[in-house]
Structure 1
Amino acid sequence: MGAPKYQKIKQDLMEEIKDASVNTPIASERELASRYKASRMTVRNALNELVEEGVLYRDKNKGTFVADQRLMKKNTSAETLNKPIDDTYDYNVIYFSSCFSDETVASILEIGPEDRMIRIVRLNRKNGKPSSVEEIYLIQSLINDSDYNNLNKLLDLKGYIDEGSVTQKFLPITVPVKYINLLHVKLNTPIIMVESIIVSKNGTPVVYIREFNNPFEKIIEITT
């Protein structure tokens, strides 16, 4: 039995773009489906794997493009959440709120839209330079009153990891417009967004994090 058709499409695309420049556009799903006489779902499966592996990235309004793979190296992924405790690292909380869950976050944290969550946005700096912006989402009902008023406790991600486990996805994207000035990068700069879900020992999601990394200040390291 041969390999699935999407794997053949994936391999063909990898060969096609191996010498392509960063930000080179990829043919649309419709065009690829016609070229390979395949369904758009089959094509999408091939593209999804290439995006997850960091070969391609998507711009929601423009299409799919060749990613800058120099942004990704191999090592330990969980280290991305463990910020060093030294004089070279500091952060500034730029947003803190208690709000109802939106559909995406509610689904990830396995809560209902009527449940409240805490949303924190912080700018991380290394040697005074912006290294990343983090969006941190916590389930409010799991936080006691004393911790709610202790920002350092809420942001102790290592504590959550030590009491559970973390899964991560590394997604090449272009920098969101709202974070351009914070990260000191230009519009359409390719970056790596790290999505992290921290779960408790019983497998219940407790924290969801999106971290947008400045490629000029921070290299992402991944274990395969």
Structure 2
Amino acid sequence: MKALSVSKVRRFVQKTGASPVYRQVADLLERDIQQGSSRSERAALPSENELAAEFKVSRVTVRQALDELHRKGLIYREKGRGSYARSQHIGGVTGFGSFTSEVENAGSKPTSRVVNFVKVSSLPDGMKRHLANLPPNNRSYHCLARVRCADSRPVAYEETYLDTETYPGLERADVENGSLYAAMLRIWGYQPAWADAAIEPSVADEAIAKHLGIKVGAPVVVAWRVTSSEQDEVLEYVRSVYRGDGFALTVRRLKIS
């Protein structure tokens, strides 16, 4: 294990400034994490006492700063051992295939949290703008909304639209845990094979910012995707919103494994 490399220059905070002191400390530590974190070897942050002495603030302020970094998914804690920086860059994710498989292949642990599961009568307008050969408007869909995480850090908000005729009897419990693609194969015998997507830059609105732990107006990347089987059956329509910091998307048409 290595220690996080921190600036050798004393960093002063402005205790009478417009920004709260804890946020100034959090911002400085975030800069250190971005400059010095490592995927191959976790980086330990200095102790609360050490950080309090460095910034000449109280431990309460340091703890508030660490809470902020934890909320943003930049650090994790081990009871009795301290705080550690998370890897901030995940590469090799296309935005086309299985999020679970791609994050695992990138060396991280994928998890998902279902935030909504409702029936809707149409696809989003953005889907109609970016993707061709969409179905007529008289279809209904299960809309599965999830926050996708890598190493417990939220990196994407995703809405998956599943045709109710293609997935009869679909319930939230079927997709609450594990890979949606695994459920497709296990329950209905569908095997995703191909995907086409349109990708565009955007900014986070209030809802996206809350889901991803970022600021309103922060840059995001939106991927509009349609996934089909080898027989060219449409299996899903997807809107994925990726946070713009430290997350790389590779864009190409590919075979889904």
**Residue by residue, what CA displacement relative to the aligned partner does 1:102-122 show, whole Å, maximum 9, x if unpaired?**
474588673333321110110
CA contact (8 A) 1:92 1:122 kept: yes
Please say which structure displays the higher CA radius of gyration. 2
Tell me, yes or no, if structure 1 residue 212 matches structure 2 residue 241. yes
In the superposition, the TM-score normalised over structure 1's length comes to 0.55
- Specify every segment of 5 or more residues in structure 2 that has no aligned partner in the other structure, as ranges: 1-89
Distance in structure 2 (CA, Å) of the matches to 1:164 and 1:112: 23
After superposition, residues 94-109 of structure 1 pair within 5 angstroms as 94-102=115-123, 104=125
Which amino acid in the other structure matches residue 197 of structure 2? Q
1:156 alignment partner in structure 2? 180
1:3 alignment partner in structure 2? none
CA contact (8 A) 2:117 2:172 kept: no
Which amino acid in the other structure matches residue 162 of structure 2? L
Q: How has the CA–CA distance of structure 1 residues 199 and 87 changed in structure 2, closer, same or farther, with 3 Å as cutoff?
A: closer
Distance in structure 1 (CA, Å) of the matches to 2:117 and 2:166: 17
Q: How has the CA–CA distance of structure 1 residues 220 and 203 changed in structure 2, closer, same or farther, with 3 Å as cutoff?
A: same
Say which of 153, 160, 164 aligns to 1:129: 153
More helix by share: 1
Tell me, yes or no, if structure 1 residue 170 matches structure 2 residue 187. no
Q: Secondary structure at the match of 1:168?
A: strand
Which amino acid in the other structure matches residue 175 of structure 2? L
Distance in structure 2 (CA, Å) of the matches to 1:93 and 1:151: 8
In the superposition, the TM-score normalised over structure 2's length comes to 0.49
2:162 alignment partner in structure 1? 138
Distance in structure 2 (CA, Å) of the matches to 1:206 and 1:80: 12
Distance in structure 1 (CA, Å) of the matches to 2:233 and 2:132: 10
Q: Report the Cα offset of residue 144 of structure 1.
A: 3.1
Say which of 99, 123, 138 aligns to 1:82: 99
After superposition, residues 13-162 of structure 1 pair within 5 angstroms as 77=94, 81-83=98-100, 84=103, 88-102=109-123, 104=125, 110-145=134-169, 150-151=174-175, 156-157=180-181, 162=191
Which amino acid in the other structure matches residue 129 of structure 1? R
Distance in structure 2 (CA, Å) of the matches to 1:216 and 1:80: 21
**Residue by residue, what CA displacement relative to the aligned partner does 1:46-78 show, whole Å, maximum 9, x if unpaired?**
xxxxxxxxxxxxxxxxxxxxxxxxxxx996736
Identity rate of aligned residues, in percent? 11
2:15 alignment partner in structure 1? none
Q: Report the Cα offset of residue 208 of structure 1.
A: 0.7
Count of aligned pairs: 153
Which amino acid in the other structure matches residue 101 of structure 1? S
Most deviating of 189-198 and 143-152: 143-152
Q: Report the Cα offset of residue 188 of structure 1.
A: 1.4
- Specify every segment of 5 or more residues in structure 1 that has no aligned partner in the other structure, as ranges: 1-72
Q: Report the Cα offset of residue 79 of structure 1.
A: 6.1
